[in-house]
A and B are shown apart, each in its own frame.
Chain A
């Protein structure tokens, strides 16, 4: 840990110094660019100055370390400390480019640094999936000579260098993008598809963001479902059937392990269904009037589905974060992907509930349907494999894929995956049709004769 502390100190000093340098000079730099200096040159000069700061910070940290403990492997320690400093130089530059307020900027730099250090491999577990993407994960492990075991062909040093170079390159690009002369954007044509999608999306986002009931549910449901279930699950063996190498095999797991994997999707599906319900039920009257005023139904639907998808992803992220505390999937990417598919599927189910059952009945069903489907019909806690009838439900494909990701080391659920995708596509079509029926003005009900082109056409609405 003492070895890594030189990197931490260098990182902190370099990050904060670069943040202030970038934030303080941003407007002046833009003025120089407006005067004619190419933005790439301006940013390169700024980063080189920052690199000098980073090297100075690294030198100070190394001197302090040498004075206290001495060096076992000077080359590794010096290189590691410099990489720490350069990565945080980039982080400071990006935050300085994007965040103007110095209090906010400093807090963000500090927050990133605290997360990185305190949950990093030197102070926490060396091999937690969730902390592998942290900026100095590989640098720390290489610097303290503790092989990660998950560096792959690139190796820990390769990943550390990739992080360093990538971070500086990203900082360069972000800084150039913010420094260059702003191009005059072509304004969206008033009333055009683009303008209407933008206006409807802005309204939909504001509307969703001001729904406190939704945010309370987001905070409460994952905790209640996942943590409580984990707390009360007895540690006993449970038998279920898994697919491995194309074969269905019986396997025995501990009950908390399986329960951890299966509670997140129930929470996610319930939240997503509620989000879908609220998004459509609350907006129906307003959208209908906006459509009568001239808003395209497609623009309104695009906005609603955009908010719906983002909220479903947020529900997934929150639920999986709660799950990660009590459960570690064998293959997180597959597990996450299956949960996202499930979230989108049930968000669309919720959207369909709104016009049929209304808000009150819909809330009841938004909780009941995921529970019946995911919590009972697909649950490996109740039977080793879902019954034939359960395979007709929307959660079947997603459940099989997520169990595959949670418990096995290779992917063997291609058919259920396509099954889940087919449900998603079918539900998307149904939602679009139902929304159009509920919102769109009566087609052909009115003939609009412009003053320039009055004709003698007659329109009979539905006769």
Chain B
């Protein structure tokens, strides 16, 4: 198999996100009964520009662990990750500030993404409109319904229109209408050359993905 990292490093057309030989184990229990539970055993992954890739696997197969390693939230025991351009991360659990409003979240994350004020304004309005939660702009996160909180969670990842989107169960809690809107957003970004890696327990609309990877026994396998 071609080494995705080498491909990325050689310049020209290549993956915008590449992971190679990712190994990760968690330690469980207390000494002397402490043991190591392997989760990832050399997972590889490459994401090209304009590509939508699904990552599926059973509960506990290591999907979120791999995602956290790709994002930089978790250190791998071994392996390599490279990427090109900005990255937007939508975690499985909405990691937000309970007492800040949607607008205030967007302002803070805009600063993290180094966005200018007009760019933030335009992107925020577009996201409110696309996902249909403009009326909650000034509502605190701890007062949002589960579905609207999921929209905010996704919106924070999309705000800066990053080159690579890493979405961990992004549509859990969406109604069908919002689910459709989500895929419209993803399609728009694919046309603009953006890429997305989408984690899901199961894939319903397989045709929406360019490729699907199964995470089995700690390794990624093309479906």
A-side interface residues toward B, CB under 8 Å?
Answer: 190-192, 195-196, 198-200, 202-203, 206-207, 210-211, 282-283, 285-286, 288-295, 441-442, 445-451, 454-463
Give complex CA distance A199, B78 in Å.
36
Whether B84 contacts A449 by the Cβ 8 Å rule is: yes
Interface residue B60 (Cβ < 8 Å from any Cβ of A): no
Q: Which residue from B91, B100, B112 sits with its C-beta under 8 Å from A207?
A: B100
B-side interface residues toward A, CB under 8 Å?
Answer: 5-6, 8-11, 14, 69-85, 88-89, 91, 93, 95-100, 104, 107-117, 140, 156
Which residues on A sit within 8 Å (CB–CB) of B97?
Answer: 203, 207, 282-283, 286
Q: Which residue from A211, A282, A293, A446 sits with its C-beta under 8 Å from B156?
A: A293
- The 10 A-B pairs of least Cβ separation, nearest first, read A191-B114, A199-B111, A441-B72, A295-B112, A286-B97, A293-B112, A210-B99, A463-B78, A456-B9, A294-B112
Give complex CA distance A293, B159 in Å.
10
Closest-by-CB residue of B relative to A459 is B80
Give complex CA distance A242, B203 in Å.
75
Which residues on B sit within 8 Å (CB–CB) of A190?
Answer: 110-111, 114-117
Give complex CA distance A430, B115 in Å.
33
Whether A462 contacts B112 by the Cβ 8 Å rule is: no
Min CB gap A409→B, angstroms: 47
Min CB gap B197→A, angstroms: 14
Min CB gap B99→A, angstroms: 4
Whether B115 contacts A459 by the Cβ 8 Å rule is: no
* Residue with the highest number of chain A CB atoms closer than 10 Å, among B75, B88, B104: B75
Whether B83 contacts A199 by the Cβ 8 Å rule is: no
Whether B80 contacts A206 by the Cβ 8 Å rule is: no
**Given A210-B99, A294-B113: A456 in contact with B81 (beta carbons within 8 A):** no
**Given A191-B111, A282-B98, A458-B5: A289 in contact with B91 (beta carbons within 8 A):** yes
Known contacts A282-B97, A285-B93, A458-B80; 19 further A-B pairs (Cβ under 8 A): A191-B111, A198-B111, A199-B108, A199-B111, A200-B111, A207-B97, A286-B97, A293-B112, A293-B113, A295-B108, A442-B74, A446-B83, A449-B83, A450-B84, A455-B9, A456-B9, A458-B5, A458-B9, A460-B78
Q: List 18 A-B contacts (CB under 8 A).
A: A190-B111, A190-B116, A190-B117, A191-B114, A192-B114, A199-B108, A199-B112, A202-B108, A286-B100, A289-B91, A289-B96, A441-B73, A442-B72, A446-B70, A461-B69, A461-B76, A461-B77, A462-B77
Q: Which residue from B69, B81, B85 sits with its C-beta under 8 Å from A447?
A: B81
Which residues on B sit within 8 Å (CB–CB) of A448?
Answer: 82-85
Whether A286 contacts B95 by the Cβ 8 Å rule is: yes
Which residues on A sit within 8 Å (CB–CB) of B96?
Answer: 285-286, 289
Whether A289 contacts B78 by the Cβ 8 Å rule is: no
Give complex CA distance A225, B99 in Å.
29
Which residues on A sit within 8 Å (CB–CB) of B11?
Answer: 454
User: Number of contacts between A and B (CB, 8 Å)?
Assistant: 153
Whether A195 contacts B111 by the Cβ 8 Å rule is: yes
Which residues on B sit within 8 Å (CB–CB) of A207?
Answer: 97, 99-100
Give complex CA distance A206, B142 in Å.
14
Which residues on A sit within 8 Å (CB–CB) of B81?
Answer: 445-447, 459, 461
Min CB gap A284→B, angstroms: 9
Whether A447 contacts B82 by the Cβ 8 Å rule is: yes
Which residues on A sit within 8 Å (CB–CB) of B6?
Answer: 456
Closest-by-CB residue of A relative to B86 is A294
Give complex CA distance A111, B117 in Å.
40
Q: Which residue from B70, B85, B89 sits with its C-beta under 8 Å from A450?
A: B85
Give complex CA distance A195, B107 in Å.
11
Whether A445 contacts B75 by the Cβ 8 Å rule is: yes
Which residues on B sit within 8 Å (CB–CB) of A462?
Answer: 75-78
Min CB gap B114→A, angstroms: 2
* Residue with the highest number of chain A CB atoms closer than 10 Å, among B6, B69, B99, B117: B99
Give complex CA distance A199, B109 in Å.
9
